[in-house]
Structure 1
Amino acid sequence: MFSTSPNDAKERYCTHYMYLNSNIDQYAINISELNIPNFDKFLNLLDPNAQIICGVRDPIGILKHNWGRDWTKVSRNYPRDFNLTYDYRNYIEFLTHNKKTEIKVDFEELNNGVFILNFLLRYFNQDKIYYLDMNSIIPENAFKTLDFLARKFSFTPPHIEKQSFFKIQEFKGYIRYLFPITLYANKKDINNRLNPEIDPLNSIAITLDRPRQNEQINIIKLVIDDDLSNDIALYIQKEDLEKLTNDTQFFNAVKEYLHDFLFEIKKIDKQNELMMMKEKEVLSIFASDKALASKFLNIFQKEYQHLEQNRPDIINSWKYYQKFKNNDFT
């Protein structure tokens, strides 16, 4: 089991302690930020000889992600429920990437939530660390990697029937910040103008979400049968699906609305991919600011000293970091 982490060090410790002393026999503690009060005490109370899986990634790719995304999307300012009269283009506007005209380098943020490996190493037995390059868990490699890790660290391996879940791209555009949202489909809303009044009791709920374990039925392939189904699901109760399929006109209207909505999501996702910052843009920033490049070189060398000593193969596989180290900013 993997648990989300409270934003208070004591509460976080108590939560983990509770889970570790329950009947859960497989549990992982995530450490991905430092800027929490009394976090040093939290780290000192952990078992220094615990087995550790440490995810690492080409730092130029990390900066591309950190600098290039529109993090205002996290605020999620939009209605979570809608009906067939709602203009889904409002959701598409939310999903649209806003390319930054100026990059603000926040070293405090980077040192507290991104480049934290060197700080954490002092709290643990470094011989117990297994480095996992992020390329090992991209969709085409994820299932095989998790199967290997399960056998290496003695947790339950992923089941072959769940292989489709490993095709999900967590940071595919901004849909991770949009979903879940719920369409309340009602016959009275067909062909009507905007009617913001939602009638949940007399409507059929269809939830747009990421694919996950769910007792409801995923009907996305009844609406749009392509690779979008790797990243999006349409969940509906079995009895509601039966009601829809027994009313052909209503079902066709719902499918048409959802198909058009999903088609626009797919289109904006492709547009976003073209607009998102690329590694070459990060290198270009360093090319125009040698003092900034020198500062980051010091950060990277300190951050990855232990990794370079123990897994030089990972360091050497990082294409853009190698270009950065060699002053090749092309």
Structure 2
Amino acid sequence: MKLGLTMKKSKSIQILKQQGIIKFIKYKLNKIIDKYIKKINKLYEYILLIFLIYFKKTPFKKPYKFILQTYAVSAHWALKEFLTYSGNLQNFLLYHDRHINLNNCKNNDYYVEFRYWLDYKPLYFFINKLLIHKTPILILTRDPISRLKTGINHGDSKEELDGVRSVNKTFNLQDNLNISLDRIRFENKNGYNINQKIPSLDSIYYMINVKLNFKYFSNMKYIKSKDILYIDAKELSPKNAFNTIKKLSNKLKFTSPSESDKQKYENILWNEFAWFLPYRLLIDNDILIVVADENRVFLDNDENYTYIKENLIDIKKYLVDDKNKLFDKISINIQTSNWQIIQNNEILIDKLKKYFKEFMIVLEEKVNERKNNLVTEEDVLNFLKEHKDIRDKLKNILDYELQHIKENRPDIIDSWEYYQKFIKLCNEEG
């Protein structure tokens, strides 16, 4: 804890010395706002829910199709996207979405989602009063050891000196690309660390103690529904996703996915470019170029591009050698009207070609650096073997929280290769 406080202090002093008092004050204000805005939002939701309970009202006038319980690093993003592809099935995230966001669900089928992280403690009494419609519960699962692996490798966008995450930053042609593309940081034993540039197995302590929620049984048992369905992350792989959603549509009574959209279900939503892309390049002060993955997955799921993404065209063939290793994996996007403005500007196009030649080199280096430092499930198991304290804690958590899955979907438990190895390890090590 002392280390974290020291780092924050040194960053403040650094801003004060390098950027002056105005930037220092702005940084401090941003930190205060970030700290309290979530608490204020949550308090608002609680007050609203209490009001609704008191007047015996529910915000859900129109019946929702089902209740979804999702857990971090379990393909929850992919599942939600696939559900959206199916007849525009809308999502309402209880305790996170505003009550007024239900307006988005008035003219569409929708479901209610609970997104579970370890520090998220819903008010179960309120939940049962609000969720008056009898519908199935769909619970997303994944091999716990694989979740730990992905949690360690996941990383986050780097926090800049002004407190802004680099994922939201805009760059220009004069920026140093080695600095601009240094965009990822990871957790250590105590959480996010600005100096942690590669995944750390020590963060397993943080994952189990703070970040990841394994409370499948604890979270499910309070909701009054006997119709409980489980879906495992493996069922959402590119090979299986389309058929999985098709089966779910029959069970949960929502529009079945169209064969014409099958390709969408085969996209890998979380790929090697996560946190590196989208990359925002501003030219001539007001023209935005956005580098994204080839399928523009990160753009489609970023509200910053909601109003322009339909007018974007990919201009990489004009700027990048098609023999580049990453050519088929990325897109360089610009609004059609802006491309018409700059496409005949030979001086600018030449600058962009030189810029993106270096950009592709540095991007490949950064992607490979991350790949080369990723941990595996076997690495996680070896760490747990050497650290009895956290191994025993995880074992006790899973023994309790997986009981309902073991009773009702033993096939899911049996399919978890690394969980089975973990249990064997615990039995052998004691």
Matched, 1:206 2:272: no
In structure 2, C-alpha distance between the alignment counterparts of 1:185 and 1:167, rounded to whole Å? 34
Sort the Cα spacing of 1:208 and 1:154 in 2 relative to 1 into closer, same or farther, 3 A: farther
User: Out of 66, 71, 75, which is 2:151 matched to?
Assistant: 66
* Partner-residue secondary structure (3-state), 2:203: coil
Contact conserved, 2:313 with 2:335, CA < 8 A, in 1?
no
Which residue pairs with 2:355 in the alignment? 257
Distance 2:249 2:327 in 1: 27
The counterpart of 1:138, out of the listed 237, 247, 266, is: 237
Letter in 1 for 2:217: N
Match in the other structure for 2:252: 153
Answer yes or no: is the 8 Å Cα contact 2:377–2:418 preserved in 1. Answer: yes
Matched with 1:46 is 131
Which of the pair is proportionally richer in strand? 2
Alignment root-mean-square deviation, CA: 3.5
The residue aligned with 1:191 is: none
When residues 215 and 121 of structure 1 are mapped into structure 2, their CA distance, relative to the original with a 3 A threshold, is same
Residues 182 and 208 in structure 1, CA contact (< 8 A), matched pair in contact too: yes
SS in 2 for 1:131: strand
Q: 1:90 to 1:315 in 2, by over 3 A?
A: same
Q: Match of 1:145, SS?
A: helix
- Identity among equivalent positions (%) equals 25
For the pair 1:109 / 2:213, whether they are aligned, the reply is no
Q: 1:257 to 1:166 in 2, by over 3 A?
A: farther
SS of the equivalent of 2:140 reads: strand
The equivalent residue for 2:283 is 185
CA contact (8 A) 1:219 1:235 kept: yes
Distance 1:232 1:304 in 2: 40
1:268-305: CA deviations, max 9, x gaps? Answer: 22331221121111111121133432332221121111
Are positions 1:92 and 2:193 aligned together? no
CA 1:290 to 1:205, structure 2 compared with 1: closer, same or farther past 3 Å?
A: closer
CA separation of 1:241/1:159 partners in 2, compared to 1, >3 Å: closer, same or farther?
farther
| Structure 1 residues 155-174: aligned runs within 5 Å | 155-160=254-259, 162-173=261-272
User: In the aligned structure 1, how far is the partner of 2:257 from the partner of 2:356?
Assistant: 32
Query: Cα 1:48–1:56, aligned 2, differ >3 Å: closer, same or farther?
Result: farther
Count of matched residue pairs: 306
3-state SS of the aligned residue for 1:236? strand
**1:25 maps to amino acid:** N
Structure with more contact order per residue of length (Cα contacts < 8 Å, sep ≥ 6): 1
